[in-house]
Chains A and B, each alone.
Chain A
Amino acid sequence: MQDLSWLQIILKSAIAFAPVWIALALTFALSIRYRRRLGLYGKLFDSTVGMIGFAIVMFWIFTALFADLIITHDPLVQLSGMKNKLPGTAIANAAEGVYPWYLLGGDNLARDVFSRMVMGAREVLKIAPAATVFAFMVGITLGLPAGYFAGKFDTILSFIANLVLAFPVILLFYLLVTPEIVETGIPIWFAAALFLFPVIFFTVLFNSRFHMLPARRNLYVGLTLLIGLWAWAGLAFNKDPTGLFSMSPNMLNVFVSVVFVNSPGVFRIVRGLVMDIKARDYVAAGQTRGEGPWYIMLWEILPNARGPLIVDFCLRIGYTTILLGTLGFFGLGVSPESPDWGSTIDDGRRLLAIFPHAALVPAIALMSLVLGLNLLADGLREESLKD
Chain B
Amino acid sequence: MFAFILRRSGVMLLTVLALTFIVFWLTNLPPNLEKLAKSEASVRMTDAEVASWLDRNGYGSSTLNRYGQWLGVVPGWTREEDGRFTGRCISGTATSLDDAPTRCGILQGAWGYSTVFKQPVADVIKRSLSMTSWLMLWVMIVMVPTALILGVLSGMREGSWTDRILSGFAIITTATPEYVSGVIFIVIFASATVGISPVLTELGWIEGKTLFQGTATAAMDKITFWNFALPVMTIALYGIGYIARMTRASMTEVMSQQYIRTARLKGVSFRQVVMKHALRNALIAPFTVIMLQFPWLLNGVVIVETLFNYKGFGWTLVQAAGNNDIPLLLGCSVVAVVVVLITQLISDIGYVFLNPRIRLS
Contact = CB atoms under 8 A, between A and B. Distances in A.
Interface stretch (B119-127, B128-136, B329-337): B329-337
A166 B344 contact: yes
B177 A322 contact: yes
Interface in A317-338: 318, 322, 325-326, 329-330
Contacts of B302: 170
A348 B191 CA distance: 14
B146 interface: no
B97 interface: no
B179 A363 contact: yes
Nearest to A53: B171
Given A184-B31, A360-B187, A318 B175 contact: yes
B35 A359 contact: no
Interface stretch (B15-23, B47-55, B57-65, B263-271): B15-23
Contacts of A352: 183, 186-187, 191, 214
- Select the residue from B31, B175, B302 with max chain A CB neighbours within 10 A: B175
A167 B183 contact: no
A175 B27 contact: yes
Contact of A326 (B23, B176, B177, B210): B177
B169 to A, nearest CB: 12
A52 to B, nearest CB: 11
Interface stretch (A92-100, A208-216, A371-379): A371-379
Q: What is the size category of the interface that chain B forms with chain A?
A: 35 or more
B29 interface: yes
B303 A168 contact: no
Given A167-B337, A168-B298, A375-B171, A162 B15 contact: yes
B28 to A, nearest CB: 10
A371 B175 contact: yes
- Select the residue from A180, A354, A360, A373 with max chain B CB neighbours within 10 A: A180
B184 interface: yes
Nearest to A182: B31
A366 B31 contact: no
A352 B314 CA distance: 21
Contact of B19 (A163, A359, A378): A163
B299 A170 contact: yes
B246 to A, nearest CB: 13
A174 B298 CA distance: 13
B175 A370 contact: yes
Q: What is the size category of the interface that chain A forms with chain B?
A: 35 or more
Contacts of A171: 23, 298, 317, 332-333, 336
Contacts of B179: 325-326, 329, 342, 345-346, 363
Given A168-B299, A169-B295, A170-B298, A345 B193 contact: no
B335 to A, nearest CB: 10
B142 interface: no
Nearest to A360: B187
B180 A175 contact: no
B340 A168 contact: yes
A83 interface: no
A280 B4 CA distance: 31
Contacts of A374: 171, 174-175
Given A163-B18, A318-B175, A356 B194 contact: yes
A184 B29 contact: yes
A167 to B, nearest CB: 6
B27 A167 contact: no
A181 B27 CA distance: 9
A325 B295 CA distance: 17
B303 to A, nearest CB: 7
Contacts of B336: 168, 171
B10 to A, nearest CB: 12
A364 B183 CA distance: 10
B294 to A, nearest CB: 8
8 contacts: A162-B15, A168-B337, A180-B35, A184-B31, A326-B177, A346-B179, A353-B192, A367-B177
Interface of B: 11, 14-15, 18-19, 23, 26-27, 29-32, 35, 171-172, 174-177, 179-180, 183-184, 186-187, 190-195, 210, 214, 295-296, 298-299, 302-303, 306-307, 314, 317-318, 321, 329, 332-333, 336-337, 340-341, 344
Given A354-B191, A374-B174, 6 more contacts: A159-B11, A165-B295, A175-B26, A352-B186, A370-B174, A371-B171
Interface of A: 159, 162-163, 165-171, 174-176, 179-181, 183-184, 186, 318, 322, 325-326, 329-330, 342, 345-346, 348-349, 352-354, 356, 359-360, 363-364, 366-368, 370-371, 373-375, 378
- The 3 A-B pairs of least Cβ separation, nearest first, read A371-B175, A180-B31, A174-B321
